[in-house]
Structure formats: structure tokens, C-alpha cells
Amino acid sequence: MQEFILVAEKLFIGFFALIFVINISGKGNLAPSTASDAVQNYVLGGIIGGVIYNDNIKIWEYLAVLAIWCGLVLLLRYVKMHNVKMKQVLDGIALPVVNVTKESLSYFRINHREC
């Protein structure tokens, strides 16, 4: 029974760490909108998944790892918000799927009058 309590404690700590980072960073949700968001989610999943079933890792060690992770996430978010070049390095450059020009709009209006 003691093992289940330890697993539950570690799960709750991980859950609240996730909520804390989402609220502090202003993301609003867990869905990854950038490449770095996806990597952050994978790393958090690895941390929580690797720690909850390992009895050798103490709660304070787990809290330290989560604090380091939270610090890195917030630091990267700050850097991306204040440095466009670093944002492009970390998340890549957005590529337009459809390039709308005056010529393409006039073609659409001529050939598709009912729209």
C-alpha cells in the first residue's frame, strides 16, 4: 500500500507542476503549438513516467528535477518572446501554405463568380 501512496504523491506533484508552468508561462493549454512545446511535453512525460515507478528516487529529488524543468521551460519561453532570431532557431520559420497575391485573387473572382 505504501508504494501506491508514493506513486500517487509523485503523480500529483507532476500534475501540479504542469499546471504551474502552464499558468505562469501564459500558454493556456497543453496542446503543442510549436516544436519546442512538443519537446517540453515529451520531456515532462519522460520525467514523470520515469520517476513515478522508481522507488529509489526521493520526493525532494523529483521536486528538484521538476524545478529545473520548469526553469528551463520558462527561460526558453522568455528568450523566444524577446529574441526573434532565437525563436526562429528554436521553433523554425513559418512557411505559408497558400501565397495569396492580387493575381490569385483576381483569378478566383473571374473563375468563381458565385463565391
Please tell me the distance from the alpha carbon of residue 94 to that of residue 27, in angstroms, as a whole number. 19
DSSP state string for the chain: -HHHHHHHHHHHHHHHHHHHHHHHHT--SSS--SHHHHHHHHHHHHHHHHHHT-TTS-HHHHHHHHHHHHHHHHHHHHHHHH-HHHHHHHH-----SS---HHHHHHHHHH-TT-
Q: What pLDDT score does 44 carry?
A: 87
Please tell me the distance from the alpha carbon of residue 97 to that of residue 75, in angstroms, as a whole number. 31
Q: Count up the domains in the chain and report the number.
A: 1
| Residue pair 41/32 in contact by the 8 Å Cβ criterion | yes
Give the global pTM: 0.72
Give the tens place of pLDDT for each residue, 23-81: 887 777 777 778 888 888 889 889 988 888 888 989 999 999 999 998 998 898 899 88
Q: What pLDDT score does 30 carry?
A: 73
pLDDT band at 110 (very low <50, low <70, confident <90, very high): low
The parent domain of residue 15 ranges over 2-111
- Does residue 19 have a pLDDT over 80? yes
Per the structure block, which three cell numbers stand in for 18?
A: 504542469
Q: What pLDDT score does 111 carry?
A: 60
Q: What pLDDT score does 52 carry?
A: 85
